[in-house]
Structure 1
Amino acid sequence: MVRAHGVNWWWSSDLVFQILYRKYIVKCVLYLLLAPSVAQAQMERLASTPQELSDAIASSGPGDTVIMANGTWTDVVIEFHNEGAERDTITLRAETPGQVILTGSSRLEIGGSYLKVDGLWFDQGSLRSGHIIEFRRSSSRLSSHSRLTNCTITNYNPPSYLTEYKWVSIYGSHNRVDHCHFAGKTHDGATVVVWLRDPPNDDPVWHRIDQNYFGHRPALPKNGGESLRIGTSSRSMQDANVTVEHNLFEECDGEIEIISNKSGNNIFRHNTFRRSSGTLTLRHGNEASVYGNYFLGEGKSRSGGVRIIGERHRVYNNYFQDLEGTGYRAAVSIVNGVPNSPLNRYFQVKDAVVAFNTFVNVEETFVLGAGRSSEQSLSPDGLQIVNNLVVTPNGPIIEYEDTPTNVSYMSNVFYGADLGIEEVDGILVADPELQAEQDLWVLSNTSVAVGTATSVDFVSDDIDGQQRDGKPDIGADEVSLAPILYRPLTSKDVGPSYLGTVLNTELPVPEARHAMIQGYPNPFRSMVSVDFTLEQPSHVQLSIYDLLGREIVTLMDGPRSLGDHSALFDGSGLAPGVYFVVIEVDGNPMKQTLVKH
């Protein structure tokens, strides 16, 4: 007998049996529920041939993993068509990330739901048309809740730059492209495109594009050189609800539109643009949010910021420095519209808010009414320019190509160049006393911009992710002791993890801006002459690298006399793409980009 709280409990054999029986039933039910998912999660299939790969994909179910064996796969069409489940993704991955190389005419279809592709590298192949990677199995069977991660596409170019195909086409909904590396595209067609769905199934697509490296896209002598495009002109009045965040765009010179926004309600945040001759262009569509981005010209000609077209856009908490673009490529270019504009022209800018931005040493800060013409006759209307901080010797700070209507200025601090318009309330001309901090310029504690901003209801933090207090500061950065959450990105912060350990993904060499070093012809097909001039006798090392920092050949290494010099390089064996010639003169390096067609 067991006594508990004064109550007598008798254990009979019947009672013991009932308790044990119930425990047995519960255990059996739990086993039956859990056993299938445990078995599926453990299933891995290694494929060493295209047929084995096809069979492994077809045999896989939710939770399974298909592994591609290390090595070079040539002319392979991967039809990754299957259906995973919300907590049981089907994964296609490299045996070792970065050591599965796809080339020739290889391409990939991600067709289904809850699919993941991880660690593949498409290198030095080419297509005649279409897409290297597409999120669909057919025009009517699109992907959803699927992911492309840790993958690389480099120098996947045809012989002619006029050949058009996309590198990555995102169809369907709720897909993600992250930690990928895209570099060396020299031919027609956007690098990455988001396609919207046709009516009546035209709901927002909710994709996410994050922590990718977009790099080294030389100028294309025609439209179609975007690094990223979201939507099309014909679908531009649809909301896409795509988020583009924490990406690095470096030397993206394909055309004026580095990013081409052609749909509604998209978010562009915490991205970094370095040495890129173009802008983040809100080309079509309405209600985009552009915040927390760094636009760093770093001396690059025609480098720009944000170009605004359409209605109700918000551009805030951004940092612009050393940009050399003008007109459409100004730091902020607000474009004139076309009356009754067709979808592929220019809609009037209405009710845009440009707030809490910092501009340092830019060639042109604000251009309002950009592109004014007999066709583009509608000036911006309802524009608010609020809490912006400008320090630049280049002026005028505000340029009216056409006079805006209903424009308001509030709590701005401008300094350096001429204002460009008559003095108005809402613009204080004063030295904001900036101080250098890790290659950026921020407010000092004694600045007139500290605590003097006008509150804006949708802005609660700054470019660093620090909270703004009840008396916010003017400009992108709030003076704060709180931890900094976001900084300008470098190549080490984005892209596949394996590139940082296998290769030198970024040559730490400044671009030659003058005639000291030139390659001719450029673009080239076979032979290229590398010419340079020395102002005094020097030790010269001249080498050719690919776009990932791998040395191809050293053309010269030794003393050279004052004057003109030349070296010939036979690049006939190279795949079409981007390469670098690097010259070190007495240990001081410079580079020039070469394009092979």
Structure 2
Amino acid sequence: MRPLILLAVSLVSSAAAREIPVSSATDLARAMPNLKPGDTVVLADGEWRNQDLVLQGKGTEARPVTFRAAHPGKAVLVGNSSLVVDGSFLVVDGLWLKESTTSGRAIFLRGDHCRLTSCAVTGGNARNFLDMTGTDHRIDHCYFADKTTEAPTIQVQVEESPNRHRFDHNHFGPRPPLGRNGGETMRIGYSGQSMRSSATLVEDNLFERCDGEIEIISSKSCDNIYRSNTFRDCAGMLTLRHGNGCRVEGNFFFGGGKKGSGGIRIIGENHVVVNNYIDNVAEGSFWITAGIPESPLVGYFQARHCTIAFNTVVASRGVCIQTDAGMGSSGRTLLPEDITIAYNLLNLPPGAVPARGRQGGGVVWTGNVSNIPATDFTTVEPRLIRSPDGMWRPSTGSPVGGVAKALPGITTDIDGQPRPERCDVGCDQASAAKTIHRPLSAADVGPAWMDRGAASRPTP
């Protein structure tokens, strides 16, 4: 009889879930007190003008409370509108905040275990398109673009305990130059929160023409992972600005030769920067930053105990690896120390500089390869060919094959293919194994319902 009893309970539970149609903030407020796990609130198609929506409730992992558009992308918040999401196990699906005139946050996400999926925020005056507190939220398949006002597009506030948020399969579209600080596309933490652990995961996102300022992503907290993201035609860099213990792995940078385009800035301690591909950037690939003695939280901490390994840089100008970035400015007098720079592959144009700068103690160079002669590099022509995904990869028989040694904690390449003990220099391991990661285009990310123009393509 037990299976029959369980089936009966399941049927009753399923029957209890309701769909509740609403067409205004007033309707929404009226429905809120009676919401139960598994309920779905359906927002009517059309313009929701000058509406401040507050979505509250308590679902469960198996039975979240869902707030969705009747048809994805057809419930459009316009005018002086905003959205607050506050609860546990809430899902917000298919809403569009378009040209909001609010001067505050377009979306404020609080609580825990909430999900924002298949939504869009475009244009308008909002200070932040998304501001987040709480823990264990997921932001996926959303689109954020055309922010022109000061302050980060996305702001994650880091509290005393790790928040463990996840951003995946989002499309961060154009953001024009702001002309000053405050033009970040994503900032995880504030300077005053930077020694707290956020443990936020940012993976499989597309950043396209994000030109607000030098820090496309500004990491201002500890223990974050930035993995398998694609950056196309962005005038800026992924910046580990404050905080320690972050991992930057398997990202694709296509600069398109754009002024201001770059790779990764490294500030602080115990960072791991591996398996990244950097193509045709104009302002350098790796800036390893000097620090201020006894730096305040708002200053520059010395880069120490970091690993930069198995990265590939092609067709990029300027200084590829700067070992004393910022030395002498803003009180920075401490050279980076205890840095491992290993098995990186550089294939650079004439006039580019593989590496430059003074070095502190404990900087170790191992097995790096460059087509341009430089100290601490083996000079060879790596014989790269363009692959269908737009990347330059070693051809069969390339001299970089099988000459590196595996390093602890680096078990795969940029494609997600395994690295053997004797492996290849650079981000790409020759392998017949299945490819798990690849450069992303607009067709791979963001809301399926939204026409975001021509899908982005690999930048020549």
Length-normalised TM-score, structure 1: 0.74
- 2:175 counterpart (189, 210, 217): 217
- 2:453 counterpart (504, 508, 511): 504
Which residues of structure 2 form unaligned runs of 5+? Answer: none
Is 1:170–2:132 an aligned residue pair? yes
- 1:354 counterpart (292, 296, 308): 308
Q: Mapping of 1:458-537 within 5 angstroms?
A: 458-500=409-451, 504=453, 506=455
Q: How far off its partner does 1:404 sit?
A: 2.7
Aligned counterparts of 1:365 and 1:157: Cα–Cα separation in 2: 37
Q: Which residue of 2 aligns with 1:436?
A: 386
Q: How far off its partner does 1:54 sit?
A: 2.0
Aligned counterparts of 1:124 and 1:362: Cα–Cα separation in 2: 37
Q: How far off its partner does 1:135 sit?
A: 1.2
Q: Which residue of 1 aligns with 2:115?
A: 147
Q: Aligned partner of 1:61: which letter?
A: K
Q: Aligned partner of 1:428: which letter?
A: T
Select the structure of larger CA radius of gyration: 1
Q: Aligned partner of 1:234: which letter?
A: G
Q: Which residue of 2 aligns with 1:319?
A: 277
Q: Aligned partner of 1:212: which letter?
A: N
Q: How far off its partner does 1:510 sit?
A: 9.6
Q: How far off its partner does 1:246 sit?
A: 0.4
Q: Which residue of 2 aligns with 1:92?
A: 67
* Alpha-carbon RMSD: 1.8
- 1:288 counterpart (234, 246, 251): 246
- 2:361 counterpart (402, 405, 414): 405
| Contact 1:122/1:156 (8 A) holds in 2 | no
| Contact 1:410/1:454 (8 A) holds in 2 | no
Is 1:385–2:341 an aligned residue pair? yes
Aligned counterparts of 1:262 and 1:63: Cα–Cα separation in 2: 36
Q: Which residue of 1 aligns with 2:321?
A: 366
- 1:249 counterpart (187, 196, 207): 207
Aligned counterparts of 2:457 and 2:320: Cα–Cα separation in 1: 29
SS of corresponding position for 1:187: coil
Q: Aligned partner of 1:432: which letter?
A: P
Q: Which residue of 1 aligns with 2:141?
A: 179
Q: Which residue of 2 aligns with 1:135?
A: 109
Aligned counterparts of 1:352 and 1:263: Cα–Cα separation in 2: 16
Pair 71,366 (structure 1): closer, same or farther in 2 beyond 3 Å: same
Q: How far off its partner does 1:33 sit?
A: 3.6
Q: How far off its partner does 1:87 sit?
A: 1.0
- 1:46 counterpart (21, 26, 32): 21
Q: Mapping of 1:558-569 within 5 angstroms?
A: none
Q: Aligned partner of 2:323: which letter?
A: L
Aligned residues: 456
Is 1:270–2:228 an aligned residue pair? yes
SS of corresponding position for 2:305: coil
Q: Which residue of 2 aligns with 1:70?
A: 45
SS of corresponding position for 2:174: strand
| Contact 1:499/1:505 (8 A) holds in 2 | no
Is 1:396–2:353 an aligned residue pair? yes
Aligned counterparts of 1:75 and 1:474: Cα–Cα separation in 2: 56
Identity of aligned residues (%): 39
Aligned counterparts of 1:40 and 1:344: Cα–Cα separation in 2: 52
SS of corresponding position for 2:353: coil
Pair 510,312 (structure 1): closer, same or farther in 2 beyond 3 Å: closer
Which residues of structure 1 form unaligned runs of 5+? Answer: 1-22, 137-142, 159-164, 512-597
Aligned counterparts of 2:6 and 2:207: Cα–Cα separation in 1: 50
Q: How far off its partner does 1:29 sit?
A: 4.4
| Contact 1:135/1:169 (8 A) holds in 2 | yes
Aligned counterparts of 2:394 and 2:436: Cα–Cα separation in 1: 18
